Amino acid sequence: MKGSRSLSQFLTLALALAPLASAWPEWLPDVDSLVVRQDDGSSSAKVTAAPTSTAANSKETSTDKNDKTTAVDEPESTNLNTAKPTTADSGDKTATGNSTAKATHSTFDAQDGAGGVAMITPATTAGTTLYRIGDPTPITWVWNYTSLQGTPSAVDVLVSCSTATATWTLTQNMTFDPTATFTWDTQKYTESVVASPLLVAQYTLIIHDSESSADATAEAGYLAPFNGFQFGLYTSRPYQDLGEWKCATCSGALGDAERQALGFAVSMSIITILSFTWYVTGFAALL
């Protein structure tokens, strides 16, 4: 009976203290901020405090049975710039300092037509020009440009051969000049390009803008690919004395074998005609 009364009194006391525990005074430090300082016997005391931070500064407080220590940290600098840099893979970029601006591509009137090339040396009225492969004297071509409004910065010079279905690049990024001159040493070129030698055939000279291609579409005011000059290349043969030279197809005289074959063919033709006539009309028709 006495034990049940003690239990009921303990429960009544616990229920009475429950509101006091939930209403912990705000002017007292937080329960979590009360820590116990470790006494390790060293001459200097270390303080461990749970920080309570504010926007301006932070304070740390620690207590034990015999000592109270309050540490105040200096205000920390806070980077208030929360913006994040953004990058774009495409689009215009603005930069300070030295910059190189891209040249604008002008558009000209379509009625003006595209620019072209006019050969000066050799003249187009000279007919097909022949050059000897390996000649010590280099080949020289001279030309100028017509109807150009947008001048190219450089040009490429090539030659193509339809027989070999190949194209040889003679020079790239040749500096633009209103009157251009190009020299081609076929002897040095043949020695340097052994894998693809020049053939005895007809070739076409190609000139185009270095920023374009040989098969690009012509654009008004700009240089159109030029392929209007054709020439031939041939190789020389060693010298041979005229008295020792024989032409198998040049002599019209017949030899003994040819004369005998011709006589036999004529004789057989006559015999065939006479025999056929006698068979058809009879021998009397021959008298």
pLDDT number for residue 20: 59
pLDDT number for residue 181: 96
Residue 121 · residue 141 · CB < 8 Å: yes
Averaged pLDDT, groups of 10, the chain, 287 residues long: 62 68 55 52 44 42 43 46 42 42 69 89 87 93 92 94 91 94 92 85 95 89 93 87 74 70 88 81 60
Q: How far apart are CA 95 and CA 92, in angstroms?
A: 10
pLDDT number for residue 169: 92
pLDDT number for residue 97: 43
pLDDT number for residue 170: 94
Of 88, 168, 99, 97, the C-alpha closest to 133 is 168
HEC secondary structure over the chain: CHHHHHHHHHHHHHHHHHHHHHCCCCCCCCHHHCCCCCCCCCCCCCCCCCCEECCCCEEEEEECCCCEEEEECCCCCCCCCCCCCCCCCCCCCCCCCCCCCCCCCCCCCHHHCCEEEEEEECCHHHCCEEEECCCCCCEEEEEEEECCCCCCCEEEEEEEECCCCEEEEEEEEEECCCEEEEEECHHHHHHHCCCCCCCCEEEEEEEEECCCCCCCCCCCCCECCEEEEEEEEECCCCCCCCCCCCCCCCCCCCCHHHHHHHHHHHHHHHHHHHHHHHHHHCCHHHC
